Amino acid sequence: MGLIVQKFGGTSVADVKKIQNVANRVAEEKENGNDVVVVVSAMGKTTDHLVDMAQQISTSPSKREMDMLLTTGEQVTISLLALAIQQKGYDAISYTGWQAGMVTEPVHGNARILDIKTERIKKDLAEGRIIVVAGFQGLTEEGEITTLGRGGSDTTAVALAAALDADKCDIYTDVTGVYTTDPRYVKGARKLLGISYDEMLELANLGAGVLHPRAVEFAKNYGVTLEVRSSMEVERGTLIEEEISMEQNLIVRGIAFEDQITRVSIIGLDNSIASLPTIFTTLANHHINVDIIIQSGTGTDKANISFSIKSSDLAETLEVLEENKGLLNYEHIESETGLSKVSIVGAGMISNPGVAAKMFEVLAGEGIQVKMVSTSEIKVSTVVSDEQMVSAVEALHDAFELAKVAVSA
């Protein structure tokens, strides 16, 4: 007997029929002789509906009250799923995040998990119960309800798997695994049988929506084996672990992309050694994530800094920079919206020089202008216009022959 953590996203529990299907999948795992902990998201578009109602009432709703509101979505799902499992003859019990012992930092809207008090769950598992846990939520030491931000249910599931020393964590979604790129945009996209933590972490950070980066980071840090699987089809998914076989010796294993990117340029900044840390510490203190950073000198004492952010963070970024203009001592700020980030990822890039050059040649051949570039050992990211995003992805997918990955069952 092992312990399996299963996570089902919003599309997998969107209505009663789908919840009953999830109950079947949970029961199958229990019949296989395993203990089961299930983590679920809110049903379908519930969270979007709650956000919309709040915005009808307030143009700038309190983050604390939004956490109070949004956590109700998962509570509906856990109770319905527990009832569905009970209806099949199994002993099941539902827990909110705080009942499950999820302790977070005191940050509303995007909290990180600090600890999981597992005593209650372990007691119920020992008594043969199936545990259904609300993802995306937790409680601070001071008793404040928090949410974990986008993809928080993934993070809940992997963190629970780590804390309970589970044998495996299965992430059930509306796709059958991790693909070479998003199959909704590129017809030639193929499912990968396996991918390493590092590759998946890069893809997740760069816009691939299959898994949240924090969930992959948890899995890597604690050695949790993940499998991304379909909630509707019974077939092998994509295994995510430390060591994977190099599928067909692919140099590039995936292409991620993300729209709604904005480039912010700080012009005429003091060219001092303290300028960079001051800027990015100031932004980090306001929980603004900065991605690609480029510095260029304009003279002996002045420099320009450009960086990319999510477009949804632009207003707050400009406000923070303006509030700290005296401290940062810059001349003015420029911004460019309507941008996207397109990235190639693959562990094989470490030992194969010339991959970035090939990427730029392909994009140039398609008439696609590269506005920003960022690299690591296993990825190259470029910023292009929104209008050219899909063309860039298709061209790169063809150039690196990702459509030749064998279709797996």
What is the per-residue pLDDT for 272? 73
Distance (Å, whole) CA 228 – CA 233: 12
Place of tokens 């709604």: 260
pLDDT reading at 242 higher than 90:
no
Task: Please report the pLDDT score of residue 150 as a whole number.
Answer: 81
Sequence-distant (6+) residues with CB within 8 A of 21 are 12, 231, 232
Range scoring the smallest mean pLDDT among 68-72, 215-219, 243-247 = 243-247
Residues 150-192: tens digit of each pLDDT: 889 999 999 999 999 999 999 998 889 999 999 989 999 999 9
Domain boundaries, the chain: 3-174, 244-409
* Average pLDDT score over residue span 108-130: 96
Indicate the pLDDT class of residue 296, thresholds 50, 70 and 90.
Answer: confident
d(CA 287, CA 308) in angstroms, rounded, equals: 14
> If you ran DSSP here, which 8-state letter would residue 224 be given?
-
In this structure, the strands spanning 226-230 and 194-196 are unpaired
- Name the pTM for this structure: 0.84
Q: What is the average pLDDT across 102-121?
A: 96
Q: Does domain 3-174 have CATH number 3.80.10.10?
A: no
- C-beta of residue 206 within 8 angstroms of C-beta of residue 258: yes
Q: Determine the Cα–Cα distance for residues 277 and 259; give it in Å rounded to an integer.
A: 27
User: Mean pLDDT over all residues of the chain?
Assistant: 92
Q: Which residue has the higher pLDDT, 330 or 1?
A: 330
Average pLDDT over residues 206-228: 90
Superfamily classification of domain 244-409: VC0802-like (3.30.2130.10)
Whole-number pLDDT of residue 245: 59
Q: How do strand 302-310 and strand 293-297 relate by DSSP bridges?
A: antiparallel
- Across the range 113-131, mean pLDDT stands at 97
Residue-level pLDDT at 185: 92
Task: Report how far residue 195's alpha carbon sits from residue 241's, in angstroms, rounded to the nearest whole number.
Answer: 7
User: Quick one: pLDDT at residue 136?
Assistant: 96
The model's pLDDT over 370-398, given as tens digits with 9 standing for 90+, comes to: 999 999 999 999 999 999 999 999 999 99
d(CA 330, CA 325): 7
Answer for the pair 135, 40: CB distance below 8 angstroms, yes or no: yes
- For residue 409, the model assigns a pLDDT of 44
Contact 77, 43 (CB under 8 A): yes
Q: Which residues pair with 262 in a beta bridge?
A: 309
Q: Does position 246 have pLDDT exceeding 60, yes or no?
A: no
Q: Measured between alpha carbons, how far is 159 from 39 in angstroms, rounded to an integer?
A: 11
Position 247 pLDDT exceeds 80: no
> Which position has the token pair 């900065």?
290
DSSP letter at 191 equals: B
